[in-house]
């Protein structure tokens, strides 16, 4: 089998055998437009503290020939994950986890499948092959757009006709040359829903650029430190990732069947009750989230995020757990718990006697707190309570 049409059919078949319903082919040429855009993003600070996104990384990530010597083709593959699940109506304040992170870690799911595809290319077709998903040095969305799998919307998401933004991407570079698929001649037109829906204004006014410094996804997943104070009240109840720009997108309905591994096994995998998260210790965190993307936030990051969500959506039932978190061993958690106490009072979520209790708890902590940043958060929270009376 040597014809390029047959080779393309066989490559598609290898990916389909591993369960990839979407497979398209891009040429392995440098992505010059994407490179310029990514360099501009880097210079403008849009990658926040993601220190691995250097100029060298951008150069590599836009040159498939540096990813695999002699690469001629990049086979782009995708798995859908958008299915919604009902939220329990038990009256508990709940957080929201982005849909991609409600089931098994997609990196592991892709890695296993992609390894098999690459092995088959080497052994059956005699070609060189190297695969990657997400963290590898290849810009996947511009490549997927080039392959005609979809187009990059104003949210920067790769939108697949009929499915929308609800796909995860992987890539296999090979030195086998096949006819590339044509890029789609589609665009978002006059739609601006994602720009309007983004709670923090992270998408540029014209679309096409996301500033990670304002993005809830970045802060809840990648940021290891304090969340900028001016953004916290806009996080709503997102505790890991954010789907607001995806949910608002009219391309695809957002309830297409998911690859089964990405589905939550229980409602708590999608919308966990917030109070119990405050009591998570390291061992319980690991036992609960091992093999899931949430591990990336680490225990302190997830509890920090839960504090913010309680501040934004919690009520009297969450006050005592939050007061307990003022004594957490992590200063990051203590500081965000203080902010959340103030935020609940500011929102009018508590009765007058509960506000008095909240203020007293902050003052008790003030008396023993040694960390300067937490002291600052406690001072601020008390000021907020006094101003909101």
Question: Which residues would be at the binding site for ligand B12 (CB under 6 A)?
Answer: 33-34, 36-38, 41, 46-47, 98, 100, 133-134, 138-142, 152, 155-158, 165, 167-169, 208-210, 212, 215, 217-218, 221-222, 241-243, 245-246
DSSP category for residue 135: S
Task: Identify any residues that bridge with 78 across adjacent strands, giving them in sequence order.
Answer: 22, 169
CA distance 354 to 155: 41
Nearer to ligand SF4, 154 or 292 (CB): 154
Nearer to ligand SF4, 194 or 345 (CB): 194
Instruction: Provide the CA 79 distance to its chain's centre, in angstroms.
Output: 16
Residue 75 Cβ vs ligand B12, minimum distance, rounded to whole Å: 14
What element of type H or E holds 80?
strand 73-80
Residue 247 Cβ vs ligand SF4, minimum distance, rounded to whole Å: 9
**Partner whose binding site includes residue 146, from ligand SF4, ligand B12, none (CB under 5 to 8 Å by kind):** none
- Asked if 134 is an active-site residue, the reply is yes
Residue 52 Cβ vs ligand B12, minimum distance, rounded to whole Å: 9
Residue 156 Cβ vs ligand SF4, minimum distance, rounded to whole Å: 8
Considering the candidates 63, 90, 105, 134, report the single residue annotated as catalytic.
134
Residue closest to ligand SF4 when measured from CB atoms:
153
Alpha-carbon radius of gyration of the chain: 23
Cβ-based neighbours of 127, under 8 Å, separated by 6 or more: 121, 174, 175, 176
DSSP category for residue 213: G
**Partner whose binding site includes residue 200, from ligand SF4, ligand B12, none (CB under 5 to 8 Å by kind):** ligand SF4
Nearer to ligand SF4, 158 or 361 (CB): 158
**Partner whose binding site includes residue 141, from ligand SF4, ligand B12, none (CB under 5 to 8 Å by kind):** ligand B12
- State the alpha helices, DSSP H only, in the chain: 4-17, 32-43, 55-61, 64-67, 106-125, 140-146, 193-197, 216-221, 229-232, 244-247, 267-270, 274-278, 282-289, 298-313, 316-325, 331-346, 352-368, 372-388
CA distance 379 to 225: 19
Q: What is the contact surface with ligand SF4 in residues (CB under 6 A)?
A: 153-155, 157, 159, 188, 191-194, 198, 200, 202-203, 207, 210, 215-217, 242, 244-245, 248-251
Residue 212 Cβ vs ligand SF4, minimum distance, rounded to whole Å: 8
What are the tokens at 122?
Answer: 């080497």
Catalytic residues: 134
């Amino acid at each position: 089998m040597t014809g390029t049409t047959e080779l393309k059919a066989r490559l598609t078949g290898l990916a389909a055998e591993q369960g990839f319903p979407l497979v398209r082919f891009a040429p392995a040429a440098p992505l010059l437009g994407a490179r310029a855009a990514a360099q501009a993003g880097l210079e403008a600070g849009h990658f926040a503290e993601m220190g691995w996104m250097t100029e060298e990384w951008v150069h590599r990530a836009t040159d498939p020939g540096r990813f695999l010597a002699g690469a001629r083709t990049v086979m782009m593959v995708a798995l859908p994950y958008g299915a919604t699940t009902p939220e329990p109506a038990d009256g508990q304040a709940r957080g929201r986890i982005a849909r991609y992170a409600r089931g098994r870690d997609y990196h592991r799911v892709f890695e296993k499948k992609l390894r098999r595809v690459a092995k088959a290319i080497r052994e059956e077709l005699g070609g060189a092959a190297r695969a990657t998903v997400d963290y590898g040095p290849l810009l996947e969305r511009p490549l997927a757009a080039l392959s005609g799998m979809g187009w990059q919307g104003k949210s920067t998401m790769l939108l697949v006709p009929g499915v929308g933004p609800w796909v995860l991407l992987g890539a296999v570079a090979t030195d086998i040359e096949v006819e590339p698929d044509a890029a789609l001649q589609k665009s978002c037109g006059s739609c601006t829903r994602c720009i309007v829906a983004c709670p923090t204004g992270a998408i540029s006014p014209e679309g096409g650029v996301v500033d990670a410094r304002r993005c809830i996804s970045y802060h809840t997943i990648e940021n290891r430190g304090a969340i900028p104070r001016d953004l916290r009240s806009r996080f709503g109840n997102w505790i890991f990732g954010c789907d607001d720009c995806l949910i608002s997108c009219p391309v695809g309905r957002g309830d297409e069947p998911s690859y089964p591994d990405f589905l939550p096994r229980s409602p708590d995998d999608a919308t966990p009750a917030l109070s119990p998260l405050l009591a998570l210790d390291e061992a319980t965190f690991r036992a609960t989230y091992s093999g899931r993307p949430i591990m990336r936030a680490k225990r302190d990051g997830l509890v920090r995020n839960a504090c913010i969500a309680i501040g934004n959506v919690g009520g009297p039932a969450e006050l005592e757990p939050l007061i307990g978190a003022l004594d957490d061993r992590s200063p990051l958690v203590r500081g965000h718990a203080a902010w959340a106490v103030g935020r609940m009072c500011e929102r009018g979520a508590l009765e007058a006697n509960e506000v008095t209790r909240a203020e007293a708890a902050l003052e008790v902590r003030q008396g023993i707190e040694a960390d300067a940043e937490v002291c600052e958060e406690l001072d601020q929270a008390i000021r907020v309570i006094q101003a909101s009376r």
